[in-house]
Amino acid sequence: MDKVKVAVVGLGFGAEFIPIYQRHPNAECYAICQRDQANLNKIGDQFGIERRFTRFEDLLSLDELDAIHVVTPIADHAWMSIESLRAGKHTASTVPMATTVEECLGIARARAESGKVYMMMETAVYTREFLYARELVKTGKLGKIQFLRGSHQQNMGLPGWPGYWYGFPPMHYATHAVSPLLCISGTQAESVVCYGSGRINDEYAQKYNSPFAVETALVKLRDSDLACEVTRSLFDTIRQYRESFDVYGTKLSFEWEQTAGGGCVVYSGYEDAERVEIPDYGHLLPKEIAPFTGHGVYDDEHEHTSFIQGSGHGGSHPHLVHEFVRAIVEGRESAADAKTAANWTMTGICAHESASNGGKLITIPRL
């Protein structure tokens, strides 16, 4: 397969992936889909895409279409992924994979039955910061991992967000905080205990029967002596946006920056601390899409440094596209395949179940 024909479904955040597919040497943005006809045409005209659809179902019957990338509201992720896989399409989905354990298991079954590639497009495991920390672990510089912590705090109380967000259970969107911990430790979550703290306003709490302002979990890792901590908040808790992880080792420890622009910290010796400049990892990508990490790339032909609009998620978007496309071309499972994505997602779902039951220990289903 020289070119993977991909359709992007959902053109808000999803539109950022279109030019990456267009420039990837093994991909083609074959079609786009959105219910809003006006925006569909606006984006189609902007990127020169002729095949435009307002109905997701119409994509499923396109025999020549190889893959579908779902970037729609959360409630649509599970059913669209399942229908896409059942239609014989390789499938990528933005996070979270789903909002129930049953949906996660259903996607895993559909992937197994179809034999197609599934990938949850988790930005947190392709940020510059994650790739840097993973390098510390893989090279042995960090030593043995002793503990991990993830945090995703965001105050979404201002108007302007889609209505389904208000009152959304924090841990139902926990993958940004969970996935770096499980990915860097190289194992899956086994069980979780979680407590809720504080209370959001009654109007929000009633929507999902979820009153907690903050949910904090302790997660036991499978076949490991490690546990990790995950904290998540969405409403009525004041903090600058922070999507972070920390890794503590026997030789070095890595901590995410405390405030935006403050710089990540590496600890060494006994109490030595150094702010580090995180490098770009565009060199891991084909030269055609490397600039989409958001860093300047030298143009040999025109002898100048050019910049292409990059992602706001730590330069992760081109890495996600490349992994999805190469998994299809190479006939292998993706790095965030259905079983992995289900474990990352169910960790948060089971954490919320635990909090709703006063901190009950919940075993995460094994795939």
Q: What is the DSSP letter of 94?
A: P
Q: Could you tell me if 218 and 134 lie in one domain?
A: yes
353 and 253 in one domain?
A: yes
- CA-to-CA separations, 65 to 11, 14, 25, 323, 336, in angstroms, rounded: 18, 18, 17, 19, 22
User: Could you tell me which residues come within 8 angstroms of residue 159 by beta carbon, excluding any fewer than 6 positions away?
Assistant: none
Considering the domain architecture, whether residues 92 and 192 belong to the same structural domain is answered as no
Backbone angles phi, psi at 11, to 5 degrees: -120, 25
* Last residue of one domain, picked from the residues 122, 147, 176: 122
- pLDDT score at 294: 84
Per-residue pLDDT at 299 exceeds 60 = no
Q: What is the pLDDT of residue 2?
A: 81
| 166 and 256 inside one domain | yes
Token reading at 160: 């302007």
The pLDDT of residue 295: 55
Is 282 in a helix, a strand, or coil? helix
Whether 136 shows a pLDDT value over 90: the answer reads yes
78 occurs within a structural domain: yes
For residue 100, being part of any structural domain is answered with yes
Position 314 pLDDT exceeds 80: yes
Position 214, amino acid: V
The rounded mean pLDDT for the chain is 94
Do 96 and 181 fall into the same domain? no
> Of 81, 106, 122, which closes a domain?
122
pLDDT value for 45: 97
Residue 313 lies in a domain: no
**pLDDT value at residue 71:** 98
Return the amino acid letter for 75.
A
- Average pLDDT, integer, range 196-218: 97
Pair 33, 167 in one domain: no
Is the whole model's pTM more than 0.85, yes or no?
yes
User: What's the N-to-C CA distance of the chain in angstroms?
Assistant: 30
pLDDT higher than threshold 50 for residue 336: yes
Residue 194 lies in a domain: yes
For position 52, which CATH number holds? 3.40.50.720
For residue 321, is it within any domain?
no
In the chain, the percentage of residues whose pLDDT exceeds 70 is 95
Residues 112 and 242 in one domain: no
| Segment 69-76 mean pLDDT | 97
- Residue 310 covered by a domain: no
Closest CA to 233 of 218, 219, 243, 246: 243
11/131 same-domain check: no
Look at residues 60, 62, 81 and name the one whose alpha carbon lies nearest to residue 71. 81
Q: Would you place residue 311 in the very low, low, confident or very high pLDDT band (cuts 50, 70, 90)?
A: low
pLDDT tens-digit readout, 140-170:
999 999 999 999 999 999 899 999 999 999 9
pLDDT in tens, 109-127: 999 999 999 999 999 999 9
Examine the fold and report which residue of 122, 138, 163 is the final residue of a domain before the chain moves on. 122
Has residue 315 been placed in a domain? no
Q: 115 and 185, same structural domain?
A: no
Question: How much is the average pLDDT of 247-275?
Answer: 96
Residue 317 has pLDDT above 90, yes or no: yes
How confident is residue 312, by pLDDT bands cut at 50, 70 and 90? Answer: low
- Look at residue 134 in the predicted model and tell me its pLDDT: 98
pLDDT at residue 272 above 90?
A: yes
In the predicted structure, residue 367 carries a pLDDT above the cut 90 = yes
If one counts the domains in the chain, the total is 2
Backbone CA torsion sign across 72, 78, 84, 89: positive
Q: How confident is the model at residue 132 (pLDDT cuts 50, 70, 90)?
A: very high
Output the domain CATH number for residue 183: 3.30.360.10
Report yes or no: 214 and 239 within 8 Å, Cβ to Cβ: no
Query: Which residue segment(s) compose the domain that 11 sits in?
Result: 4-122
pLDDT at 104 over 60: yes
The residues, any chain, with a CB within 8 Å of residue 261's CB and separated by 6 or more, are none
In a domain, 140, yes or no: yes
132 and 100 in a common domain: no
Within its chain, how far is the Cα of 207 from the centroid? 25
